[in-house]
């Protein structure tokens, strides 16, 4: 089975590598650095398992910038390009998907296309009609940032929108790379689209709930960890996804909750809107607490969403930074992933000790052992130091 994977982000790269154990795979991207890294058998995205896998596994894998090479002889195309939320259109920006579909069909009219990018409910039916191509399907992915290789090897479930031979073959490809037997669900295209949005919105709801619990405890000078532990020991609730933060962020939760909210237009609802609002309120509260501390020189420790991540996208710290700027605070940044000397008006201090000693308060969305000697000037809501 000749497979093309378009988009070498945190979804596409691990999937291309895993499929290449058993199939010839051509990985396509428009970013030359990602293509070059993959051909050197180096991970183009941050994933602690992917580098080791690439270095120690025999793969029938080639990455390319060449459209003809990517699409002309492929039997299956997997699209894993980003679909950011567009506030002006109140929907995902799906142009990257459509661009790949148009290019692929210009080289190969018979190709079966499986979309992994998150999309609005009803998108597949629309795109099939627009391109007069029935062999377009959706198969949602459920991956944690930085753990995409592992989550493809040990998936909670495989879902494919459709039940024809294309869909069964594709489900077989995904099952083949899984290291344990996994439930496989075939369903309608709109049902598959809805699963992705509702699953991520549920996770966002849980994050927002425990953040709001923490807001209450901090405001009332209660010990959040005790309240959370007492709540989470109920087996119906569980001791997971309960570590407070500055707000949910990252690749999926912010955009997926907003898209689901938009999909509820003209349908009675309140919960998803409340979750989106709760996340904004949380970041405002965090900012207020920092300003209330009286610190004038504030250091922002890392822009990443979580420990071990290289992702800045939609990180909750950015909204906090904007609120702090509006409050007139002098901001400094420690972010070793940046080479610049300044970032969005903040001076970047490259030496951590210099950074820590030069500010009145260190603000960290996620704790790191590097901060251990500065807990007396640290503001974080990372209570359990595990997420």
Q: Which residues are catalytic?
A: 252
Please count the other Cβ atoms lying within 10 Å of the Cβ belonging to residue 337.
12
Q: For residues 198 and 256, give the distance between their C-alpha atoms in angstroms, rounded to a whole number.
A: 8
Instruction: Report the length, in residues, of the chain.
Output: 387
How many Å from the N-terminal Cα to the C-terminal Cα in the chain?
38
Residue in this structure with the two tokens 């959370």, named with its chain if needed = 228
Question: Residue 190: which H helix or E strand, with range?
Answer: helix 189-220
DSSP at 140 = -
The token pair that represents 229 in the structure block: 């532990």
What torsion, rounded to 10 degrees, do the Cα atoms 119, 125, 131, 133 define? 110
Smallest CA-to-CA distance from 52 within 181, 153, 143 is with 153
**What is the separation of C-alpha 27 from the centre of its chain, rounded to a whole number of angstroms?**
20
Q: For residues 335 and 319, give the distance between their C-alpha atoms in angstroms, rounded to a whole number.
A: 17
Q: For residues 13 and 145, give the distance between their C-alpha atoms in angstroms, rounded to a whole number.
A: 12
Asked if 174 and 155 touch (Cβ cutoff 8 Å), the reply is yes
Q: For residues 69 and 164, give the distance between their C-alpha atoms in angstroms, rounded to a whole number.
A: 28
Distances 18 to 53, 64, 355 between C-alpha atoms, Å? 9, 17, 41
The token pair that represents 175 in the structure block: 């099952």
**What is the separation of C-alpha 386 from the centre of its chain, rounded to a whole number of angstroms?**
18
């Amino acid at each position: 089975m000749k497979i093309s994977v378009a988009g070498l982000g945190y979804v596409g790269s691990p999937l291309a590598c895993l499929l290449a154990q058993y199939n010839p795979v051509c990985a396509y991207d428009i970013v030359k650095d990602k293509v070059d890294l993959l051909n050197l058998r180096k991970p183009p995205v941050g994933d602690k398992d992917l580098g080791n896998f690439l270095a120690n596994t025999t793969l029938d894998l080639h990455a390319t910038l060449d459209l003809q090479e990517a699409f002309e002889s492929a039997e299956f195309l997997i699209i894993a390009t980003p679909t950011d939320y567009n506030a002006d259109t109140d929907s995902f920006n799906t142009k990257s998907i459509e661009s790949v579909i148009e290019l692929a069909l210009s080289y190969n009219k018979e190709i079966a296309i499986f979309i992994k990018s998150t999309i609005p409910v009803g998108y597949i039916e629309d795109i099939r009609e627009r391109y007069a191509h029935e062999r377009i399907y959706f198969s949602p992915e459920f991956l944690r940032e930085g753990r995409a290789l592992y989550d493809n090897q040990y998936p909670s479930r495989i879902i494919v929108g459709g039940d024809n031979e294309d869909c069964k073959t594709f489900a077989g490809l995904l099952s083949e790379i899984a290291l344990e037997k996994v439930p496989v669900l075939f369903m309608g295209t709109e049902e598959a689209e809805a699963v992705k949005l509702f699953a991520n919105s549920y996770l966002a709801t849980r994050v927002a709930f425990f953040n709001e619990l923490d807001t209450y405890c901090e405001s009332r000078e209660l010990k959040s960890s005790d309240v959370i532990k007492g709540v989470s020991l109920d087996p119906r609730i569980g001791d997971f996804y309960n570590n407070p933060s500055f707000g949910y962020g990252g690749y999926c939760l912010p955009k997926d909750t907003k898209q689901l909210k938009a999909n509820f237009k003209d349908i009675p609802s309140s919960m998803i809107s409340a979750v989106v609002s709760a996340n904004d309120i949380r970041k405002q509260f965090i900012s207020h607490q920092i300003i209330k501390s009286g610190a004038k020189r504030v250091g922002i420790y890392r822009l990443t969403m979580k420990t071990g991540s290289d992702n800045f996208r939609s990180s909750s710290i950015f909204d906090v930074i904007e609120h702090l700027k509006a409050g007139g605070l002098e901001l400094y940044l420690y972010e070793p992933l940046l080479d610049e000397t300044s970032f969005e008006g903040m001076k970047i201090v490259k030496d951590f000790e210099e950074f820590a000693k030069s500010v009145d308060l260190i603000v960290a969305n996620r704790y790191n052992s590097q901060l251990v000697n500065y807990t007396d000037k640290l503001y974080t809501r990372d209570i359990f130091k595990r997420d």
